[in-house]
Structure 1
Amino acid sequence: MAASSSHICLVLSLMMALMFSSIHVNEGARNLLQTTQPAIPTIPTLPKLPTLPNSMPNLPTATLPPLPSTSTPLPTIPTLPTLPNAQLPPLPTMPTVPKVTLPPLPSASLPTIPTRIPSIPTIPSTIPFPSPPPSN
């Protein structure tokens, strides 16, 4: 019993310390919010950028020399010989699969599913569980 009361005392003292420290933090934060320091200075504005001209200047155009002409004629591409038109044999036909009929299903009924769940057996009270030592 003495061990549990010391734990309770320790927990209560920690809760009290936390409560008082949070009060001091709140007062400090309130004090920081109520200071009379000057406001943060504003950021200066950027100067205006010069505007670009709307039209681009015309660049000089160069005259290109004419392409040299070749005096030798290009060779002609030979024509491909025509292939004989061969008659292909007809494709074989696919064999047909005979139709299979399934036998009728048996008329026996399906087993019934139980709707009541059996109860779970309880733990007997004769099993020894660890217990605290007897107090003197």
Structure 2
Amino acid sequence: MASTKSFIPVLLVIVTMSSMILEARQLLQTTTQPNFPGIPTFPRPTTLPPLPSIPTFSQGSLPPLPTNIPSLPKLTMPPLQSFPTNIPTIPSLNIPPLPAVTSLPNIPTSIPTTFPSIPFLSSPPSST
């Protein structure tokens, strides 16, 4: 039953491909070229129009630059205020010391030769 279900679509694909190949061959064997409309020709200008002239602007006159630079007036700053002498002191915090580390976790020195296995990924047990 399953083979007939897949046989019919395969047969339809083969028939479709063969008909496409036959039609393509027939198109290649035709000797007449299709008539395309010609490209219209547009009249070409014989001379370019003259470029516009650049207008001339009148030259303005600038006043002469000053030779001496004026100095800025000297500013005097008022004296800084004195800081108060009765600043309250910041209380110190007493933090208890941390407990000393006496033992470290045991680190294995040898690599185990058997690893735990996952049941569905491991091979079945041998029967011998």
Structure 1 length-normalised TM:
0.42
Structure 2 length-normalised TM:
0.43
